[in-house]
Amino acid sequence: MKNTDVLIIGGSVAGHTTAVTGKATYPEKDFLLIRKEEKVMVPCGIPYIFGSLESSNQNILPGDAMYEKLGIRYEIGEVTDLYQHKKTCITSDGQEIHYKKLVLATGSLPKVPKFLNRVKYKNVHVIPKDKEYLDDLVDQLNGGKRIAVVGGGFIGVEIADELNKKGNDVTIIEILPHILSLSFDEEFTMEAEQIITDRGVGIMKKTQVKEILGHGDKADGLLLNNGSELKADNIILSMGYHPNTSLAKSVGLKINENGFIEVDEYMRTSDSDIFAVGDSAEKRDFVTRKPTGVMLASTACAEGRTAGLNLFKLCALKTLNGTIAIYSTAIGEHGFGTAGLTEAKANKEGFDIIAGTFSGMDKHPEKLPGTNHQTVKLIVSRDSGVIVGGEVLGGPSVGELINLIGFIIQTKTNVHSLLTAQIGTQPMLTASPNAYPLIKAAEIISEQL
């Protein structure tokens, strides 16, 4: 029997951040992190191992050196059983580990509809966070292949663009009317589609895969709902992820209607000595308050920090009061960002909203070299004037601009106070002060309120 104060199961971003923040907050406590993977991939970097990076070895989470420095113990292994009342876990090699606090950071697994029967074919792939699997896949897709990517969310789009860079012939198959449409309103998705098709990636929209076609263990194409067949040398199923909650379920921790482990604002599960963080932990939308299926490394980090801070005593202010999905993605030199509700989602949820969009340039004057178009859309609740969502497209500064909008949403800022908000502008780095799209979009909304 081993003993530890804090046992963390899972070594990706959520588990890692919980360990680092927890040990910094409670240095006198013993921390033990158990993970399956010898080397942990940077999750959001995975698409880039297919093109921009030389190898997945350039995409490793720099955890172990930090653990050694901070005095966090870690082991490679798998926890197979949990005895909640004895506060004990059992590993696959028969170890018994007693904990005071347990953190479930068990992540998520690729989601594949059963009827697709993918396991039959060796050239039909998913994107798990598994280095060996991915290394093998990168080797197989090293140029000259016809590749079908099923699913036009972020992962699908980023991987398609990277595989295209490597000289493959790539087609995205998206069931919805537009790619990226769970995160962006139509006008933004159409811009993204234009950019990615200009780069040579094919897109088939409103298209459903009925069946994977093949002979023996080799798929050779897809049968689509319109009756046509798409030939492919390799097929990537990028159809989302489902939370990995088997341990939590085995002891009867509460699971929400979407299949995530229920947690409170301190990331405690229905057993207050067990925390859950990351893709397997419940998220409630910051604005709608409904459970949401968002899975983002940045969200996992915020959750890991929250759990780490609150392991042994609760701290006001250091809580997570609802999840704001703040994403960004890059297609070539173009950046897209989104935070909070889209206009479509806000309408669907029953909000009475006003949206305002302003398009300008991301440098000023616009004749400066390297200037990109920049568009900001804000979504505001009509009754309160509070900003509930925002979308941005532009150049490389979009990643931080959407973080500014994310913070504006977090602070429940009223659109009126944004009119006189102070910002800094610089010719080479931002839009001009009198055409700064974020404030101009707020003005457009304010005039209608």
Q: How far is the CB of 53 from its own copies (least distance, A)?
A: 6
Helix spans in 103-254 (H): 131-140, 154-165, 186-198, 246-250
Both tokens of residue 45?
């970097």
What span, in angstroms and rounded, lies between the C-alpha atoms of 77 and 33? Answer: 10
Bond from prior residue into 365 cis (ω within 30 degrees of 0): yes
Taking the CA of residue 258 as centre, how many other CA atoms within 13 Å lie in the half-sphere pointing to its CB? 18
Choice between 128 and 322, CB closer to its own copies: 322
Q: Comparing C-alpha atoms, which of 14, 33, 31 is closest to residue 107?
A: 14
Taking residue 121's Cβ as centre, other Cβ atoms within 10 Å add up to 20
Q: Which stretch binds its own copies (CB under 8 A): 128-136, 139-147, 211-219, 425-433?
A: 425-433
Task: Give CA separation, 82 vs 1, 88, 97, 249, 374, in Å.
Answer: 14, 6, 10, 10, 51
Q: Which stretch binds its own copies (CB under 8 A): 77-85, 107-115, 195-203, 427-435?
A: 427-435
Q: Which residues pair with 203 in a beta bridge?
A: 172
Q: How far is the CB of 366 from its own copies (least distance, A)?
A: 8
Q: How far is the CB of 39 from its own copies (least distance, A)?
A: 12
- Residue in the structure block whose two tokens are 């969310």: 153
Tell me if 424 contacts its own copies by CB under 8 A: yes
What span, in angstroms and rounded, lies between the C-alpha atoms of 174 and 112? Answer: 14
Choice between 117 and 432, CB closer to its own copies: 432
Segment 255 to 314, residues that bind its own copies, using CB under 8 A: 296-302, 304-306, 309
When binding is defined by CB under 8 A, the residue of 197, 258, 417, 448 that contacts its own copies is 417
Q: Which stretch binds its own copies (CB under 8 A): 31-39, 120-128, 217-225, 322-330?
A: 322-330
Segment 158 to 177, residues that bind its own copies, using CB under 8 A: none
Choice between 258 and 411, CB closer to its own copies: 411
Choice between 207 and 328, CB closer to its own copies: 328
Buried b (16+ CB within 10 A) or exposed e, 383-411: eebbbbbbbbbbbebbbebbeebbebbee
Choice between 108 and 328, CB closer to its own copies: 328
Q: How far is the CB of 238 from its own copies (least distance, A)?
A: 16
Q: How far is the CB of 294 from its own copies (least distance, A)?
A: 11
When binding is defined by CB under 8 A, the residue of 225, 228, 315, 352 that contacts its own copies is 315
Q: Which residues pair with 393 in a beta bridge?
A: 336, 375
Segment 323 to 382, residues that bind its own copies, using CB under 8 A: 323-324, 326-330, 335, 337, 339, 364-365, 367-369
Judge whether 14 and 303 are in contact, CB under 8 Å.
Answer: yes
Tell me if 384 contacts its own copies by CB under 8 A: no
3-class secondary-structure state, position 341: coil
CB proximity list for 187: less than 8 A, separation 6 or greater = 357, 377
Segment 2 to 61, residues that bind its own copies, using CB under 8 A: 13, 16-17, 20-21, 24, 42, 44-45, 47-48, 52-54, 58-61
Tell me if 91 contacts its own copies by CB under 8 A: no
Site size toward its own copies, by CB under 8 A? 87
Choice between 243 and 395, CB closer to its own copies: 395
Segment 392 to 411, residues that bind its own copies, using CB under 8 A: 395-404, 406-408, 410-411
What span, in angstroms and rounded, lies between the C-alpha atoms of 402 and 15? Answer: 26
Tell me if 427 contacts its own copies by CB under 8 A: yes
What span, in angstroms and rounded, lies between the C-alpha atoms of 107 and 300? Answer: 9
Choice between 24 and 76, CB closer to its own copies: 24
Choice between 177 and 433, CB closer to its own copies: 433
